[in-house]
Chains A and B, each alone.
Chain A
Amino acid sequence: MSNLQVSVYRYNPETDSAPYMQEFQVDTKGRDLMVLDVLHLMKEQDSGLAYRRSCREGVCGSDGMNMNGKNGLACITPLSDVVKGNKLTLRPLPGLPVIRDMVVDMGLFYKQYERIQPYLQNDTPAPAIERLQSPEERDKLDGLYECILCACCSTSCPSFWWNPDKFVGPAGLLQSYRFLADSRDTATRERLTSLEDPFSVFRCRGIMNCVAVCPKGLNPTRAIGKIREMLLADAT
């Protein structure tokens, strides 16, 4: 038998008064499928099952979800990585309002991203060609610009669960540092000023769940540490 037991979070606001877990039997034919493939097989059984997906190769960030207790991307998570005892439990990303089934309202997450002004600011006139940047300067953006906004990190962060409106969260702060670290950006002072309050950055308690779950192997905790250093240096 290659039947996998999948327990999945269901909630349709039109018909359900409360969410519930539904059991599925999925025939994997013994293959080490990705979790997203398993969701497709489940959707063939019940077309009403709702989840987001797009690139199916881990670069678009649509299918962040909680798989056997850990956040990750369904499309690049093989069953062998998460399944224990032939059982898989799938829940939406924790801490955000559920719209339907595995689909969460990402509004708060995006709002924190927008708050850090995630775009290059440079108040000098643009040259006729590109702005020059040395390979060493450019290297500083590695590990920062690759974020895919999947929200796996922020929704695994207890500080973000408690204060999603005031704590920027690991994803937003990683992006904030991506611009602070960019040799072409001239808004460093303004960026730091907007983060000075006790919540925006300093609610990070260094729990490092963000680092443990990031499907792109990025390290928001390190970026947050760098922002703290800059804030402290700025204050003295």
Chain B
Amino acid sequence: MSNLRSLTFDAIIIGGGGSGLRAALELAKSGKKTAVLSKVFPTRSHTVSAQGGITCAIASADPDDDWRWHMYDTVKGGDYIADQDAAEYMCSEGPKAVFELEHMGLPFSRFDNGRIYQRPFGGQSKNFGEGGQAARTCAAADRTGHALLHTLYQNNLKNNTTFLNEWYAVDLVKNASGDVVGCIAMCIETGEVVHVKSKATVLATGGAGRIYASTTNALINTGDGIGMALRAGFPMQDMEMWQFHPTGIYGAGTLVTEGCRGEGGYLVNKDGERFMERYAPNAKDLAGRDVVARSMVMEILEGRGCGEKGDHVFLKLDHLGEEVLGKRLPGIVELSKTFAHVDPAKDPIPVVPTCHYMMGGIPTNIHGQAITQDENGNDHIVNGLFACGEAACVSVHGANRLGGNSLLDLVVFGRAAGMFIEGALNEGIEYLDASESDIEFAMKRITRWNESEEGGESIPELKAQLQDIMQNSFGVFREEKNMQEGVKKLADLRERIGKAHLPDKSNAFNTARVEALELDNLMEVAEATAIAALERKESRGAHSRYDYPDRDDVNWLKHSLFFPATKELKKRDVNFKPKTVDTFEPKVRTY
């Protein structure tokens, strides 16, 4: 018998960010034996860094606002490969989920009438693109993610959720039938490795922006859930779709919210020209993020960038005045002073497109159930495995996410997964227990690191090389030859990571071991991204190729599906069948 201690739960939620905590809250209220397992104390999760807000048609700024308009914007923003049944669910359920957050205590900013404050964000329209700019992003100043995450953590405390804080999930455990029946996890404080048994395993592990050298993402965003699912043999969807946020602070990479432009800020080039007027005459600085990021890179490439090297542009906010900045964007004033040494009330902030968000991930249905595909291209549910939040690809964001839609995605689909799991547990779930060899298989990787010998390369060095490859070959603009080289370099890197050395094998709070395990996950995410990007031969949303500059709806109005065993890219149908509204047919996407 395995000498691992085991812990048993009805449901284990891996990840303590917005989606994990929202799912946990639902399950804690139901009385199911649930635990949240998180590698950091939950309020240190990356949701805390979200700034501008949560986009939702709560009809506060505009009493006539309609969730269908939000759905239209979301589908158009995603360049038509968002699943329309999922976008419909998110936008229509959204108001309920946002009001729940308010009832839980989230300190939203307010309008004079006492309702929740909403600001304009990119890609928002009224009346299906015909009625001009909408203001649909609900905000708590520019600290909405912080307010949301703390509120959810607080309400989990209220409902006595069990937390395994500073525990690291290593790999999924699958039984002989291929069902997911738990995971292997390590207590970081003691180094103890345990077998967590559960009837439902939820991957709420967030994004993986750390595959790029320059990212707005926290240091912990290493795609742990994606790595676990890929090693367990499950496919990943739309991994070529990475959002580059137009306004990361030049040099530091820290995020400056789109809310700055929502409040009236705008981008200028070295001539002081408001260049977005040329690229997006109607929406200007509030076009889709992919459009704005590309326009910025064009300005820089054509010699109109700012600074000595001409390698960034400026975000101008000083005309908003100190009062608006202090009231609506206080966090930005702070960040910009700290990381750019600029007071935005006086001078513009140097910004550059920076890796921000992973639109792809574990394919799921609207209940959070993970999906795989058989040889004939038919979808199948993976028993026992769920995903929500950035780790999942449900897909509401398609090829480009709209600002403010990630926080909505977290709460709507975290909640949906929790509700579904509660129902399934009530009906009864029985899976075959994992065998000794199933557990050993899931232990392979941590065993490998623990037995690694001197002579192998260093972990931080390999990580830096991986980030450089991704930055140089899979950035805002992509091209065949460069990507082929990138894929080759990654294959070589994978081999070297397989031989890398973990010098510190101690047990107590060994952060070097955690970083080694994270490196494996970065490698999995990078490879899936690279192969998907190379194979999708068109430009759509955030995936932009010099050699295939046009969208190709004949061949690529599809999800991509990367299979780890064969490293092949297949296609999966996009859902065009919302239940209560007419399909939004693909149109040319202009702003």
Residues of A bordering B, CB below 8 Å: 12-15, 43-44, 47-48, 50-62, 76, 78, 99-101, 103, 106, 110, 114, 117-120, 122, 126, 128-135, 137-138, 141, 145-146, 148-149, 179, 182, 184-185
**A59/B48 contact (C-beta < 8 A), A43-B460, A51-B511, A130-B116 known:** yes
Are A56 and B219 touching (Cβ within 8 A)?
yes
**A60/B43 contact (C-beta < 8 A), A47-B512, A130-B116, A131-B102 known:** yes
Give the contacts of B308-345 with A (CB-CB under 8 A).
331, 334-335, 338-339
Are A148 and B43 touching (Cβ within 8 A)?
yes
Set of chain B residues within 8 Å of A15, measured between Cβ atoms: 506
Cβ distance A194 to chain B, nearest Cβ, rounded Å: 15
**Sampled A-B contacts (13; CB under 8 Å):** A47-B459, A48-B503, A55-B49, A59-B143, A60-B48, A129-B115, A130-B108, A132-B113, A133-B110, A133-B114, A138-B107, A148-B146, A184-B105
Are A61 and B509 touching (Cβ within 8 A)?
no
For the complex, give the distance between the alpha carbons of A146 and B109 in Å. 13
Are B49 and A48 touching (Cβ within 8 A)?
no
Max chain B C-beta neighbours (<10 A), residue from A47, A58, A59, A110: A59
Are A149 and B43 touching (Cβ within 8 A)?
yes
Are B41 and A106 touching (Cβ within 8 A)?
yes
Max chain B C-beta neighbours (<10 A), residue from A117, A118, A182: A118
Are B110 and A135 touching (Cβ within 8 A)?
yes
For the complex, give the distance between the alpha carbons of A78 and B512 in Å. 25
Are B158 and A128 touching (Cβ within 8 A)?
no
Set of chain A residues within 8 Å of B331, measured between Cβ atoms: 59
B147 at interface (Cβ–Cβ under 8 A)? yes
Cβ distance B222 to chain A, nearest Cβ, rounded Å: 11
Set of chain A residues within 8 Å of B99, measured between Cβ atoms: 126, 128-130
Are B110 and A134 touching (Cβ within 8 A)?
yes
Set of chain A residues within 8 Å of B512, measured between Cβ atoms: 43, 47-48
**A60/B157 contact (C-beta < 8 A), A99-B508, A133-B114, A149-B43 known:** no
Are A119 and B338 touching (Cβ within 8 A)?
no
Are B219 and A119 touching (Cβ within 8 A)?
no
Give the contacts of B140-185 with A (CB-CB under 8 A).
140, 143, 146-147, 150-151, 154-155, 157-158
Number of interface residues of B (CB under 8 A): 61
Q: Residue of A at shortest CB range from B112?
A: A135
For the complex, give the distance between the alpha carbons of A149 and B43 in Å. 8
Cβ distance B55 to chain A, nearest Cβ, rounded Å: 16
Interface of A is mostly: loop
For the complex, give the distance between the alpha carbons of A145 and B147 in Å. 7
For the complex, give the distance between the alpha carbons of A182 and B104 in Å. 12
Set of chain B residues within 8 Å of A179, measured between Cβ atoms: 105
Q: Residue of B at shortest CB range from A36?
A: B219
Are A60 and B49 touching (Cβ within 8 A)?
yes
For the complex, give the distance between the alpha carbons of A99 and B110 in Å. 43
For the complex, give the distance between the alpha carbons of A56 and B221 in Å. 12
Are B44 and A54 touching (Cβ within 8 A)?
yes
For the complex, give the distance between the alpha carbons of A234 and B355 in Å. 53
For the complex, give the distance between the alpha carbons of A78 and B154 in Å. 32
Set of chain B residues within 8 Å of A57, measured between Cβ atoms: 49, 252, 254-255, 335, 338-339
Are A48 and B43 touching (Cβ within 8 A)?
no
Cβ distance B24 to chain A, nearest Cβ, rounded Å: 14
Are B218 and A114 touching (Cβ within 8 A)?
no
Set of chain A residues within 8 Å of B114, measured between Cβ atoms: 132-134
Q: Residue of B at shortest CB range from A138?
A: B110
B278 at interface (Cβ–Cβ under 8 A)? no
Are A14 and B220 touching (Cβ within 8 A)?
no
Set of chain A residues within 8 Å of B273, measured between Cβ atoms: none
Q: Residue of A at shortest CB range from B147?
A: A145
Are B43 and A130 touching (Cβ within 8 A)?
no
Nearest 5 CB-CB pairings of A with B: A120-B105, A132-B114, A119-B154, A130-B102, A47-B512
Interface residue from A50, A99, A118, A131 paired with B103 (Cβ < 8 Å): A131
Set of chain A residues within 8 Å of B140, measured between Cβ atoms: 145
